[in-house]
Structure 1
Amino acid sequence: MAPPRNERIFEPNASIVLVGCRGAGKRTLGFMGALHLRRRLVTEDHYFEKVTGLTRGQYLAKHGRELFARQNINVFKRMLDMNRTGCIIECGMASLSDEAQDVLREYARTHPVVYIHREKEQIAKLMDAADAQQLLEADRTHRNCSNFEYFNLYDPSPSSAPSSGGTSGTSTPINGEQPGPSKLLCVQEDFARFLDIITGRGATKAWLESPFSVAAIPPEYRSYSYALRLRLSYLMDMDLEWEDFEAKGDCVELIIDHWPDDLCGVIARQVALIRRKLGVPIIYHVEEDPRGERRRPPEEKNAMDSELLELGLRLGVDYISVDLQRDEALVHRVLQRRGRSKVIGNYWYMGLHALPWPDERQMENYRRAQALGCDVVRLVRFCTNDSPVELLEDFKRRVQETIPDPKPPLVAYDISVLGVRTPLQTRILGPVKHPDMENDRDHLATVSNTPQCIEMLFRQFLLDPLQFYVLGANVSYSLSPAMHHAAYDSSLMPHTFQAVVCSTLDSLNQICSADTFGGACLTAPFKVAIMPHLKVKSHHATVIGAVNVLLPLRGRTSAILDHANSRNKAGPVREFFGDNTDWSSILTCLRRAISPRNHVQPSRTTGLVIGAGGMARAAIYALYQLGCRNIFIYNRTVSHADAVARHFNEWAASQAAAVAAAATANGTANGGGGGGSPGMNAASPSKDVCHVLPSLTTPWPRNYQLPTMVISCVPATSVDSNPPADFVMPLDWLRSPTGGVVVELAYEPLVTPLVAQMRAVRANMCPSWVVVDGLEVVAEMAIEAFELMTGRLAPKRLMKEVCRKTWEGQQQQRRRGLP
């Protein structure tokens, strides 16, 4: 039995088309998508003017409505045909015509065509009520000519900006104010995640860059993973806040068990909320018998199920869950339309006479799921104390020993009237719920929550208590131990975390070679010095030339996945892995504080980095990853700044050459017909991205905009020829009319001279500047280090609270003269 051909796998460089109603946000999303994928942005309005020499309004006034309509559709067809690769194409009102939608349906056979929609109330605010109603009615036809859809969520909550891991945070108060995060950040990260899923580049990119990151290893390939079950009926009337679900599961299983009015819109919004609030993979499951729904004839039920499953695939969910006992045509349709979504093939036996594990039909079920091309096989049966756990273990052993490779991962467990049998019988994708949710909210399916499951693994000696550290010459007052211990307590993990002062590689090696060593955060003098001694490093650490997180490699084989799944286990250390989270922590803080007015434009936006040490390297890399291509460096010792600038200019040139070669190979180097937005051409000529300012009296270069992103990487004391922490900026460098963001990495003291200066600048020159203090950055570093070291999602909100409270406690002790 061969699996059906997947109809929605497109060429990696196939252009992506955005369609939808006016006011849905297509132009903004198009710009974000082009920047994220390094593609050209082609807009219908700009392309029409490029081809005809007139704007739409001018053409209509000159030639009349009938000729305009004909030219409009001709230009529309040409735009799609001439830009088939390497583009994000934003369609305007022409996509509402029948002829254009016929073209789009054909285009969708070979290209992703994404329907962008949002809350009706938000669109109605942008136009007259009558116009809004008419447009929204016509907008529904976009579902019929597209193969994906993205719900552009409006989120009014004040803490909606996700960090790199998908949770929320805010900028630092200045002068008693609390600046809100940029709403565009939320959309940017959501849409980037969506594009990564539909293009298939997300997990691969994360794995290549940092294989120990939580995002790099899919839940089914982790040593242990848990699926947080959330029912649509519950989400419609939640009695918990989204923040309560943080770090409660490695993924979310969204169960469609309810059919409310505007069902497609409701589901699309809930998928968008899960992505934004929790930032974890989504398993989409359509329940066979929804609550409160009348029983329908099989044909009607299959049609409804097919529509709902198709919706999940259109929304680009990570996993689609399919009951293989359902209608054969329905299963076949899902497998044909799966795209990049992984398929979980299910066999559920819920009655009193459930198929026992020793029955050969269970093996046949697994073989069929394997033959159909399922990525994961899930077998669940109801039992009444008539199925010893040994029977299930024997079944798993038979699958492992008798089924030929490649074998899809197996999820198999018993349930009873009390829920899932505990301890959980499945190692991966174990079903869990929030401890404060009522059991009847999930039909008695789950009784455990993730921390309890993790605690059980330690009690069974499947995982080991380990020792973690922050190591360096000046770590006595580090805030990391308090944050990590709070995270361990929250996750019920019996690890320890210590700050140990050491300054030689010999002393570092002695600590890190212990059988119970779990990992370490590194500070000066180790970040650069340790690089030559590491055989395995992340892509980020290699580019930056510095490491701040050190992990032991204990895998039984040389495979990185084996090493990654050996976290939380003691034993001899084979080698070490080095990563860098300094850059991503800085990046997160920048994104959180950038205003919409100062969104990054590669050809225009300017960044400034103060310093030339390891943190300055991370800051430059963060600016580059954000899209900034005009980066200035100031350092007291100019030769050090020159060396750092040369390092990144050489690397950036190699990147540009690789992108240009790829673009040429795909026939997109010259833009494929014009209509692209400035700065969006992936094959634009390379130039230096880093420049050195030789002194504080140097006037700001006239050919560059004033900086809107400033990162101060100077330590509390003068180290390695960096300027000391009493550094202040020349006022002429701070005259950006739109303000910007200043990230101060030092936090001893928290109000450095630069922070004090920025308060004065806000009061007297430009109130639009936002300052991010060092506590924000150090909290992000601890969060990412926790996830790298343990392989578990961090309780981000808790760690941030502990960071600030611990710092305040240290300040009180110092004021009292206590050590």
Structure 2
Amino acid sequence: MNVRDLVNSSPPPATAVSPCIPHSPDQYIQRGHPMSASGSIPPSRTVSPPNVDSRKASIVLIGMRGVGKTTLATITARALGWELLDTDIVFERQYCTSIVDFVASQGWEAFRQIESDILHDLLRTNRTEKVIACGGGVVELERNRALLHAFKGSQGLVIHVLRDKDAVLTYIRDSTHFPPYYHESAKEAWNRREKFFRECCSFHFVSLTVPIPPGLPDTVTGDQTLALKPVEDDFFRLLRFVHGIDTNKVPVGRGAPRSYCLSLTFDDVAQAIPKIEDLSLGIDAWEIRVDLLASLDFTFLAFQIAILRQHSPLPIIFTLWRAPNGDRPLDPEVTKNTVDALFKHALRLGVEYVELDARFPRSIVEDVVSLKGNTTIIGSFYDTTRNLSWNGPEAQLVYNSIVGMGADIVKIVYFAQSYEDNLSLQKFTAKVDRPIIAINLGAEGQRSRVLNHVLTPVSHPLLPRVSFPGQLSFYETQTTLCSAFSTLLPKKKYYLFGCPIAHSMSPTFHNTAFATLGLPHAYELKETSTVQELANVMRSPDFGGASVTIPYKSDIIPLLQHVSRHAKIIGAVNTISPIPGGGGYTGDNTDWRAIKTCLLRYLTPANAVTCTTTALVLGAGGTSRAALYALYHIGVINIYICNRTRRNAEALAREFERLDPLLNIRVLDHLTVPLPIYPPPTMVISTIPATSTDGANPDNGSQLIDIGLHPDHLSPLGGVAIELAYERRITSLLALAEEKRAAGVAWTGVEGIELLLEQGYEQYRIWTARRAPKAQVRQKVLEVYHRSWGKGLRVRTADLP
């Protein structure tokens, strides 16, 4: 993972960050990266890391040579607008020689002393808004280890970067950029330093090796930087968690929806990845049963967490059972000290949840709770005697003990002797004030699994073994809720409001999603000639929500009791939901979120948004408002609108400029070559129809509209081209992006059907509090889309539903 030009180029100075984004990493991350689909709740106790007072505290990266520290530091510095400092580069600039030549003439000991002085000076004078990449051997000296330990404790973050050992050792062996190790091999040095890195760091980050496309010598391509996008995403997920910006937690308070977790019972998480889409259906969190893994080696565990995170945004519960409650007990040689070290290691990995058995030694519990930061503690108690009852005094004593140990969520598992034990469980949970996972085991206790509200453990037929006997699948819990407890999961009707809507893809989308997750709901079209007819539909007791398309996106607003801030700014609502408790209806807009998601997904680290970033929006109609808002939300302040009716575009520009005095929106009434835009745009969004029909000769079919786009209109640094029209797979804009890519410029084209899917995923989450089954929905929608498109059906393009 070493793209030399990206590594060696200097990131923008701190003052170069976009002025519309407050100059601090948390604000950038919050606006520049979407929150998790499951939502987030504030930290339950201390802010992680516990002793860091400011989110502006400098970030120090340590780890073996070749793990990608400088590359990661460069990406991070660019994204945050901070300064990058590299101890190796500082050394070579100060001494006007390469490290290879210096070590060859002066020896390693002399180099280590100078490196130590450089490290001390950098950490003393750069405590905020710096990303500092350290050489692989800084942990060799006790003096440096003490300094890093003190720095992580009170001043900033020290993050240990890990990478696949074999790949790194191969890189070191073949590289001419580093001097050879003396008296030992690179592998021996790695093994000896591992303990030092763990002792010195606040957190671990595993930079999973990604394939970098080949390029010419001394050049870097956009595709090479795009290949690093997963590394950037994973690292900022860690930073968001550490700084408490998005702790990626499952909502568990009053009024929160039911939540579910699935225990991955593989001995290697990598075995689950080919099945990850199916395994994740309906669930809100993963549980990693550490005691079932093939190894308890710290590096192995770090990679297990990293692999799962790379393929899923869901939070992780780290579980280590102390007693043989499952099908395999802990190894007897797993001592108290090892258990303590494993939980501390989990905290350094930034896992969202840790489950602590209430019968663990008190010293372990106190250690973990005191260091938990933004990790949520689930305190658990499993009755293996089968003698305890929810009616007896022991239940309250167990609950009080778990709360007293500092747990944020209580988990109590008993064995049901009769059906009435489920009723006793319900009475007990109704009187406690802490979020609780309460389950009865055995055949008589299955009802409790269905009715449990918080992080209900479920199983899946694709798992190699069950985590606990008697678990149901998510699908089974939903169908049981619907059939046996219909008041808890009542059937709802959802609609698309608009006219004309006969060929909409929305019924295919949502009915496929409902059926896949075992939900009893239905989605249908409601085509009306006036908006007033919709009020009667909304008043129906089984009304669950509605998508809204033209011509009612604005006209529907007077019928709503609440409109989100986003929808108010955009001036359009495309999603309606009933307010719980009969409080009327609320409206939101998911179009802009779909645009934002696609922009961030494909914008390369090399094109991180700064104050000089430019974007071009084609069209000034209703959907362009969502495009402008999405651009503003990711920090773009230099936006150009091209529209044939200049007056409409200027009115739109003036309206949006009132959002922020730093916004600079300019209007073009035609596209010239070259454009009066510098630098050229790295984001182009088309909100206009892609085709037109010859009114005199309708049998001629639709023709692509040529608005004068030219290859020079797109940045030579690459970028993202988004087409909101979806009546054609390839439009003029997408063809141009493909032409640029064929010429070696990393432009990514995003089809309109992708935007349709993204906004629908968000609608589904709003209505059901569940993530849409994306793979199944996408497959079905594309099947219908291709069949309809092949028949020549003209799909509306001024809206997404």
TM-score under structure 1 length normalisation: 0.78
Please tell me whether the aligned partners of residues 262 and 287 of structure 2 are also in contact (alpha carbons under 8 angstroms): yes
Is 1:190 aligned to 2:234, yes or no?
A: yes
Residue number in structure 1 paired with 2:245: 201
Following superposition, the deviation at residue 333 of structure 1 comes to 0.9
Q: How does 1:459-608 map to 2 (within 5 A)?
A: 459=483, 460-461=485-486, 462-502=488-528, 504-530=530-556, 536-555=562-581, 572=582, 574-594=583-603, 599-608=607-616
Q: How does 1:141-156 map to 2 (within 5 A)?
A: 141-154=196-209
- Residue 118 to residue 644, structure 1, CA distance change in 2 (3 Å): farther
- Residue 83 to residue 617, structure 1, CA distance change in 2 (3 Å): farther
Residue number in structure 1 paired with 2:641: 633
- Residue 690 to residue 243, structure 1, CA distance change in 2 (3 Å): same
Residue number in structure 1 paired with 2:168: 123
The SS at the match of 1:697 is: coil
Structure 1 unmatched runs, 5+:
159-178, 207-214, 401-406, 556-571, 654-686
Is 1:101 aligned to 2:145, yes or no?
A: yes
Following superposition, the deviation at residue 471 of structure 1 comes to 2.0
Identity of aligned residues (%): 29
Is 1:714 aligned to 2:688, yes or no?
A: yes
Q: How does 1:109-258 map to 2 (within 5 A)?
A: 109-110=153-154, 111-128=156-173, 132-133=186-187, 136-137=190-191, 139-140=193-194, 141-154=196-209, 182-202=226-246, 217=251, 222-233=256-267, 235=269, 238=272, 241-258=275-292
Following superposition, the deviation at residue 489 of structure 1 comes to 0.6
Following superposition, the deviation at residue 771 of structure 1 comes to 2.3
- Residue 734 to residue 340, structure 1, CA distance change in 2 (3 Å): same
Question: Hey, what's the Cα distance between the residues in 2 that align with 1:58 and 1:294?
Answer: 48
Question: Hey, what's the Cα distance between the residues in 2 that align with 1:513 and 1:35?
Answer: 51
- Residue 196 to residue 445, structure 1, CA distance change in 2 (3 Å): farther
Residue number in structure 2 paired with 1:778: 756
Please tell me whether the aligned partners of residues 291 and 329 of structure 2 are also in contact (alpha carbons under 8 angstroms): no
Following superposition, the deviation at residue 119 of structure 1 comes to 1.2
Residue number in structure 2 paired with 1:799: 777
The SS at the match of 1:651 is: coil
Following superposition, the deviation at residue 328 of structure 1 comes to 1.0
Q: What amino acid maps onto 1:153 in structure 2?
A: L
Following superposition, the deviation at residue 285 of structure 1 comes to 0.7
Question: Which residue of 309, 314, 320 maps to 1:280?
Answer: 314
- Residue 493 to residue 605, structure 1, CA distance change in 2 (3 Å): same
Following superposition, the deviation at residue 21 of structure 1 comes to 2.2
Is 1:44 aligned to 2:86, yes or no?
A: yes
Q: How does 1:363-374 map to 2 (within 5 A)?
A: 363-374=396-407
Aligned residues: 714
Question: Hey, what's the Cα distance between the residues in 2 that align with 1:804 and 1:27?
Answer: 41
- Residue 295 to residue 217, structure 1, CA distance change in 2 (3 Å): closer
Please tell me whether the aligned partners of residues 285 and 321 of structure 1 are also in contact (alpha carbons under 8 angstroms): yes
Residue number in structure 2 paired with 1:448: 472
Any idea what the Cα deviations from partners look like across 1:444-480, whole Å, max 9, x if unmatched? 4343111221222222111211111222234221111
Please tell me whether the aligned partners of residues 496 and 506 of structure 2 are also in contact (alpha carbons under 8 angstroms): yes
- Residue 773 to residue 295, structure 1, CA distance change in 2 (3 Å): closer
Question: Hey, what's the Cα distance between the residues in 2 that align with 1:607 and 1:4?
Answer: 41
Question: Which residue of 722, 729, 734 maps to 1:743?
Answer: 722
Following superposition, the deviation at residue 396 of structure 1 comes to 2.3
Residue number in structure 1 paired with 2:436: 410
- Residue 87 to residue 540, structure 1, CA distance change in 2 (3 Å): farther
Residue number in structure 1 paired with 2:387: 354
Question: Which residue of 626, 629, 652 maps to 1:621?
Answer: 629
Following superposition, the deviation at residue 360 of structure 1 comes to 0.7
Please tell me whether the aligned partners of residues 58 and 126 of structure 2 are also in contact (alpha carbons under 8 angstroms): yes
Any idea what the Cα deviations from partners look like across 1:72-121, whole Å, max 9, x if unmatched? 33332232233334444433446334222211101111233221112113
Following superposition, the deviation at residue 19 of structure 1 comes to 1.9
Residue number in structure 1 paired with 2:29: none
Following superposition, the deviation at residue 799 of structure 1 comes to 1.1
Residue number in structure 1 paired with 2:731: 752
Residue number in structure 2 paired with 1:705: 679
The SS at the match of 1:615 is: helix
Any idea what the Cα deviations from partners look like across 1:520-566, whole Å, max 9, x if unmatched? 222233334555765544454345443322221023xxxxxxxxxxx
Q: What amino acid maps onto 1:224 in structure 2?
A: R
Question: Which residue of 409, 412, 424 maps to 1:379?
Answer: 412
Following superposition, the deviation at residue 634 of structure 1 comes to 1.1
Question: Which residue of 90, 95, 102 maps to 2:133?
Answer: 90
Please tell me whether the aligned partners of residues 4 and 336 of structure 1 are also in contact (alpha carbons under 8 angstroms): no
Any idea what the Cα deviations from partners look like across 1:486-544, whole Å, max 9, x if unmatched? 00110111211123334644234333333222122222333345557655444543454
More deviation in 798-807 or 57-66? 57-66
Q: What amino acid maps onto 1:145 in structure 2?
A: C
Question: Hey, what's the Cα distance between the residues in 2 that align with 1:33 and 1:359?
Answer: 55
Following superposition, the deviation at residue 266 of structure 1 comes to 1.9
Following superposition, the deviation at residue 754 of structure 1 comes to 3.7
Q: CA RMSD in A?
A: 3.7
Please tell me whether the aligned partners of residues 497 and 547 of structure 2 are also in contact (alpha carbons under 8 angstroms): yes
Any idea what the Cα deviations from partners look like across 1:322-352, whole Å, max 9, x if unmatched? 001111111111111111101111111123x
Is 1:73 aligned to 2:120, yes or no?
A: no
Any idea what the Cα deviations from partners look like across 1:364-384, whole Å, max 9, x if unmatched? 111122233311000002344
Any idea what the Cα deviations from partners look like across 1:686-730, whole Å, max 9, x if unmatched? x5443332422363236x1222322111136899xxxx9714343
Residue number in structure 2 paired with 1:316: 350
- Residue 326 to residue 220, structure 1, CA distance change in 2 (3 Å): farther
Question: Hey, what's the Cα distance between the residues in 2 that align with 1:50 and 1:630?
Answer: 38
Question: Hey, what's the Cα distance between the residues in 1 that align with 2:560 and 2:46?
Answer: 44
- Residue 762 to residue 293, structure 1, CA distance change in 2 (3 Å): closer
Is 1:611 aligned to 2:585, yes or no?
A: no
Residue number in structure 1 paired with 2:668: 693
Question: Hey, what's the Cα distance between the residues in 1 that align with 2:254 and 2:408?
Answer: 9
Following superposition, the deviation at residue 780 of structure 1 comes to 1.3
Please tell me whether the aligned partners of residues 493 and 521 of structure 2 are also in contact (alpha carbons under 8 angstroms): yes
Please tell me whether the aligned partners of residues 419 and 447 of structure 1 are also in contact (alpha carbons under 8 angstroms): no
More deviation in 64-73 or 227-236? 64-73
Residue number in structure 1 paired with 2:23: none
Any idea what the Cα deviations from partners look like across 1:35-70, whole Å, max 9, x if unmatched? 66x462432349837995968759959996677644
- Residue 637 to residue 361, structure 1, CA distance change in 2 (3 Å): same
Structure 2 unmatched runs, 5+:
1-43, 175-179, 214-222, 694-702, 795-801
Question: Hey, what's the Cα distance between the residues in 2 that align with 1:642 and 1:813?
Answer: 39
Q: What amino acid maps onto 1:547 in structure 2?
A: V
Please tell me whether the aligned partners of residues 437 and 454 of structure 2 are also in contact (alpha carbons under 8 angstroms): yes
TM-score under structure 2 length normalisation: 0.80
More deviation in 620-629 or 450-459? 620-629
Question: Hey, what's the Cα distance between the residues in 1 that align with 2:655 and 2:170?
Answer: 49
